[in-house]
Amino acid sequence: VFQGRILARRLVGQETRYEVEVKTPYRHRFPLVRREYVWVPNACGCPPLQEGGEYLLMARRHVNYEHTLNRILLQDDGYARPWTPREDRLVREAARHC
């Protein structure tokens, strides 16, 4: 779970790749760097992330069986909401209980 600002969007085959500036990592099981690519396994623009917008993203790490592909994947059941101070407060409160 992290707060990020969308810098760019690019269609790559049947997937969408977002370049994201990681602003605040809340909870992560794998290391995040300042800029990451977040992949969405469709080209339809779902979830609708706008360039320049800030979002609270809950994504997972995806590694293929051959261990040749390691990326951050925002699945259909992932969480992508516009970032607000309220979202920040809710995530921080939840982190204390989890």
What pLDDT does 18 receive?
95
Domain count, the chain: 1
pLDDT tens per residue across span 21-63: 999 888 767 788 899 999 999 888 788 899 999 999 988 888 7
Domain extent, residue 49, equals 2-96
The better pLDDT of the pair 9, 97 is held by: 9
Domain with 8 in it: what CATH number?
A: 2.40.50.120
Q: Which pTM value belongs to this model? A: 0.82
| Spatial distance between the Cα atoms of 19 and 25, rounded to a whole number of angstroms | 16
AA letter at 45: G
| Spatial distance between the Cα atoms of 48 and 74, rounded to a whole number of angstroms | 12
Could you tell me if 74 and 59 are in contact, meaning their C-beta atoms sit under 8 angstroms apart? Answer: yes
